[in-house]
Amino acid sequence: MTCISCAGAALDRGGMTLTRRESSPIPVEADSICPDRFIGLNEADIARLPAFYGRRQVTLGDLFEIEGVGATDITVTGDLAAVKKIGHGMTMGRVTVEGPVGQHTGARMTGGELVVRGDAGDWLGAYMAGGRIVVEGNAGHFVGGAYSGDTKGMRGGTILVKGDVGREAGGRMRRGLIIVLGDTGEFTAARMLAGTVFVRGRLGARAGAGMKRGTVVAFGEVAELLPTFRYTCTYRPVFMRCYLRRLRETGLVAEGELEGELFRRSIGDLTNGGRGEVLVRAERE
Amino acid sequence: MRVNGVEIEDTFAEAFGMWGARLVVTAETLEWARTAGAAATGFATSIIGCGCEAGINELVRAQDTPDDRPGIIVLLFTMSRAAMEQQLMLRIGQTIMTCPTTACYDGLPDGEERFKVGGKLRYFGDGFQRSKLLDGRRLWRIPVMDGEFVVEESFGAAKAVGGGNFFIMAGDLERALAAAQAAVAAMRGVPGVVMPFPGGVVRSGSKTSSRYKGQHASSNTPYCPTLRGFEKSDLREGENAVLEIVIDGLTSDAVAEATRVGVVAACCDGVLRISAGNYGGSLGQFKFALHDLVSA
């Protein structure tokens, strides 16, 4: 026989699973799927949390089969391609999405971990301030971006996308780290204020357009750098070694996934002060 | 008590509370890291005249440093928090930053006190400095002529122990030196301690009084063999050379372990006695009894 607190901990480890009842192209807004919203609730309470099915307000129970216990480990399965805002604003816990997921996943989150075992839609981690997002497939446009009217995008935390991302990843980013192991679309880190973006694949055209400060690192091919970027030197940035070591230590990237010692440094965007930088991996001559 | 036929005197070393900091200094090669460490710990033998006591504690393999480059651990000890901040600024700014290829990281992230060092040194960058926030630790990138000097925003310091010691009395200088070197070599394997004097050994041990006004420390006359028969002497017949090893550590356990290891290693051929310095137990916060340590 276990004590009450031990039993509670054991139950919490079991986690909560939400399974989509049907496949539908109609958009669902499910910002209730968030560890913070599940705290202290049982299955029936969670089933009563609100969601939007198209423009109609429904409950999570109408859309998902809900089973399990605990708030800190949530798994969402089924057809989620049209389900938006999972993990929206989460501050703690872990959410695992099995399969492709819709837009705004992990937007405005400040803590915890969100894992997507598939592709993610646009605005992944938009305006995020902390925590970690890992996407095992591709992600859409505006990863870690700023919403219209916001002066800042991502303000902290880490986003790892193992596939490709669309345009304007890290747009208006203020702080934090975005790692893309595939290619990026146009205008990566456009109007970036600070922070760091790593791209292992092809860095899309016009990267860093209008950036004020911050760092874009290209480990692979670079489509084109704007003429408002000026080459400064080829050197060994020690801070890059700190990043790569830390990423390996935390298990975010595997040994050999991101490597580089020597980088060509260009500063820009000279139309906006020129205090940003684009580092492109160079080979030793 | 005897070890290898050497008498261990039934006495204790008296040590004091200090503030300790731990720096991780890396460079492209171990040689440059050691060069930086030697510069940073130069003129840091005694707080009596140097402002701090410091030494290189251990070498660190590349896979164990924050930037995957070979490095060293520097320990730095001061009597006050204000002195610690001043010494960190001076030594990191004037010796580590100036040494080619180096970077400097905080080795005491959980220290009780934090001192803004990189956050002030960054102004050397004349507005072109950059920072990166990595897992809550801010690293400053200061432009220098070989690339960038990376230094952590702030460094931790913790209450530490300074002034642990023991004396090696030998029949002649050669044997005293050999024993002292053997002791220091063994003690260098103990984490968290440094022996701040040249080569880890001090010959000019001091007492805290003087016949001259304004002189705070003077020759440890009871242990000077040349004064035997003239001044009150604590040396015995046949003891013609004395060397002292002073130990500063981040914890009292580290100082105790280093003392134990050192005393045992110093019990070489030709050494007559091992003793320790104290003030009767009335001044220091820490006491390290030689018999207790050696028999532990």
CB-CB: which of A196, A235, A242 is closest to B66? A242
pLDDT of residue A4: 39
Give the minimum alpha-carbon distance from A193 to chain B in angstroms, rounded to a whole number.
13
Size of interface A-B (CB pairs under 8 A): 47
Return the amino acid letter for B15.
Answer: A
Would the pLDDT of A118 be above 80? yes
pLDDT in the model for residue A284: 67
Do residues A127 and A104 lie in contact, with contact meaning Cβ atoms separated by under 8 Å? no
For residue B283, what are the CA distances in angstroms to A268, B13, B204, B277, B286?
A: 61, 11, 21, 12, 9
Q: Do B139 and A215 touch (CB under 8 A)?
A: no
Query: Between the ranges A240-249, B229-238, B244-253, where is the mean pLDDT highest?
Result: B244-253
Enumerate residues 6+ apart whose C-beta is below 8 A from A225.
A207, A208, A266, A268, A278
Distant-in-sequence, close-in-space partners of A205: CB < 8 Å, separation ≥ 6: A186, A187, A223, A224
Q: What percent of chain A has pLDDT over 70?
A: 94
Contacts B25 to A, Cβ<8 Å: none
What's the confidence (pLDDT) of residue B280?
81
Among the partner-chain residues A215, A235, A238, the one whose CB lies closest to the CB of B67 is: A238
Examine the pLDDT at A28 and tell me if it is beyond 70. Answer: yes
Which positions ≥6 away from A30 have C-beta within 8 Å?
A51, A60, A63, A83, A84, A85, A86
ipTM: 0.89
Contact (CB, 8 A) for A188 and A169: yes
Does residue A235 sit at the B interface (CB-CB below 8 Å)? Answer: yes
pLDDT tens for each residue of B93-115: 999 999 999 999 999 999 999 99
A236 contact residues in B (CB cutoff 8 A): 28, 147
**Predicted confidence band of residue A12 (pLDDT cuts 50, 70, 90):** very low
Which residues of A fall within a CB distance of 8 Å from B143? Answer: none
CB contact under 8 Å between B148 and A238, yes or no, is yes
pLDDT band at B230; cut points 50, 70, 90: confident
Confidence label for A6 from pLDDT (cuts 50, 70 and 90) = very low
Q: Is A19 helix (H, G, I), strand (E, B) or coil?
A: strand
Amino acid in position B245: I
Task: Decide if A175 and B133 are in contact by the 8 Å CB cutoff.
Answer: yes
Question: d(Cα A128, Cα A139) in Å, to the nearest integer?
Answer: 15
**C-beta atoms of A237 and B130 within 8 A:** no
CB of A196 within 8 Å of a chain B CB? The answer is: yes
- Of the candidates B68, B130, B135, the beta carbon closest to that of A241 is on B68
Taken as a whole, chain B contains a residue count of 296
DSSP assignments along A178-212, one per residue: EEESS---TTTTTT--S-EEEESSPBPTTTTTT--
B106 neighbourhood in chain A, CB within 8 Å: none
Nearest CA to CA, how far is A147 from chain B (Å)? 24
Q: Determine the residue type at B110.
A: D
Mean pLDDT of B234-243: 96
pLDDT digits (tens, 9 = 90+) for A171-204: 999 999 999 999 999 999 999 999 999 999 999 9
Q: What is the pTM of this model?
A: 0.92
Residues A169-189 as b or e (16 or more Cβ within 10 Å = b): bbbbbbbbbbbbbbbbbbbbb
For residue B233, pLDDT beyond 50: yes
